[in-house]
Amino acid sequence: MNSMPTKDKKEKKEMSEELNKLQKIVEWFEEREEVDVEEGLAKVKEGAAIIKDLKSRMKDVENEFEIVKKNLKD
Amino acid sequence: MIDEEKTWSVGGFLDHLNNILKSEEVFVVGEVTELKKHPTGFYFALKDQEGEGILFCYLSPRKAKMFGIDFEDGFLVKVGGSPGIYKPRGSFSFVVESLELVGEGSLKKTYELLKKKLETEGLFMRKRELPKFINSVGIITSKTGAVIDDFRKNLKQLGLHLCLYDARVEGREAVANIMAGIDYFNGFPEGTFDVLVVMRGGGSLEDLQAFNNEAVARKVFSSRIPVLCGIGHDKDVPIASLVCDKAVSTPSIAAQTVNASWDDLFSGVPLLSKKLSFAFESALGEAAGTLENLSQPLLGFLFSEIERVKARLEYFLKYLNAANPMRNLKLGYSVVFGNGEKIIKDARLLKKHDKITIKLFKGLIGGKVTDIIDE
């Protein structure tokens, strides 16, 4: 059996969840008329951590390529 | 001497002939005639478009289903197989092992018939969204040629896992290969592959037969994994492309489609990052503004208090200034001390000859009382 993908749905789900979290933090700021500075700072810190993590996934990582099966008659 | 003549039973002789006839696979091109579709198989004859030749053919139901070609009388086909004699009848026939349509007319007609049939069944309606952040891709195409190179060259380096199932995309083996590839990837546990990419460069209807094949179309439709087709074509969109979840016409666009599944990350993160920064700056600005607004009345009160205290101080300073004895001394007044350095305010407190000291603005004068004048 050829090696199969090791990255699973969990990582993709986490990425989607993190993007959602980030979106919600931005919305939190946009929806408030007055922002509690301390609470806002905590939100920004949380957002910055998410951005850092997501940016690390934007770095170039070489694609893996394999031929899993030759044609039927080979 | 009697020659030993080889004699056969009928069945034995037919077996002998069949062994000779089946020794090699042959291909024959001809026009379909007298087609009878029977539960036990397809029976038809092939004839030359010009000339008198006629060949009776048999196609098993299993093979017919596998070929996925709905042909009729008048279609030009190329069959592969071996000739044989059907013993119970002693009839000569050609057992079909492969079948391809030949000629634009047959292909076009088959294409239109299949398109209408599958459209009526609703196979072109279902379009599943390709997943976000595609990570593992099952590819079905030929390992040689420009298609796979173009696809790989246009993919971003995202750490993708690319598995190529090397399939013939043209010719007799194409249908079986493509179907086997789809089965292969669907055989893994759910989530192993995010998308299947079926690709081929452009070509004529004849070149693209495998992608206008009913069995292939149904296999694409039945795939649990969403299918992205990147099949080049001129006028008629391949049936497989009509059935699949997402169709593009080149391998490079297929690669860009995979890349685009990551757009939320590549465009979303910088955008949200800017928005967050702007939102926080605005919040800080607003907080500063609020602080200023709140402090205005307090500052006004403080300033008025300062002014009030300042006025009071000035008053006291003026008062103290006025009450300062040195000021009066400077004006020419003097102070008389006597009776043990007491300030003398009444002349009656002194007697004649008492010693007195007079303090002036500058310096002191000593003296004696010479006279008391009582007022």
pLDDT tens digits for range B264-301: 888 888 888 888 888 778 777 777 777 677 667 777 77
User: Which chain A residue shows the shortest CA-CA distance from B194?
Assistant: A9
- Express each pLDDT in B325-338 by its tens digit: 788 888 888 889 98
The pLDDT assigned to B50 comes to 78
- Express each pLDDT in B124-144 by its tens digit: 999 999 999 999 999 999 999
Residues B132 and B24 in one domain: no
pLDDT at A11 > cutoff 90 = no
Subunit contact A35:B283, Cβ cutoff 8 A:
yes
Subunit contact B152:A63, Cβ cutoff 8 A:
yes
The pLDDT assigned to B256 comes to 96
pLDDT at B217 > cutoff 70 = yes
Give me the interface pTM, i.e. the ipTM.
0.71
For chain B, how far is it from start to end, CA to CA, in angstroms? Answer: 204
**Does residue B136 sit in helix, strand or coil?**
strand
To the question of pTM greater than 0.90 for the whole model, the response is: no
pLDDT at B106 > cutoff 60 = yes
Hey, what's the torsion of the CAs at B339, B343, B347, B351, to 10 degrees? 10
The pLDDT assigned to B3 comes to 59
How many domains does chain B contain in total? Answer: 4
Specify if A44 maps to a domain.
Answer: yes
Give A35 or B191, the one with higher predicted confidence: B191
The pLDDT assigned to B307 comes to 86
Specify if A51 maps to a domain.
Answer: yes
Distance, CA of B124 to CA of B131 (rounded, Å) = 19
The pLDDT assigned to B309 comes to 84
Residues B129 and B259 in one domain: yes
- What is the domain extent for residue A16? 9-56
Specify if B83 maps to a domain.
Answer: yes
- What is the domain extent for residue B221? 119-266
User: What are the start-end ranges of the H helices in chain B?
Assistant: 10-21, 61-67, 104-121, 146-153, 174-186, 214-222, 239-243, 251-260, 263-266, 268-323, 325-330
Touching B: A residues 17-36, CB under 8 Å = 19, 22-23, 25-26, 29-30, 32, 34-35
pLDDT-based confidence at residue A74 (cuts at 50, 70, 90): very low
Chain A CB within 8 Å of residue B267 CB = no
Residue B211 main-chain phi, psi, to 5 deg: -90, -5
For all residues of chain B together, what is the average pLDDT? 89
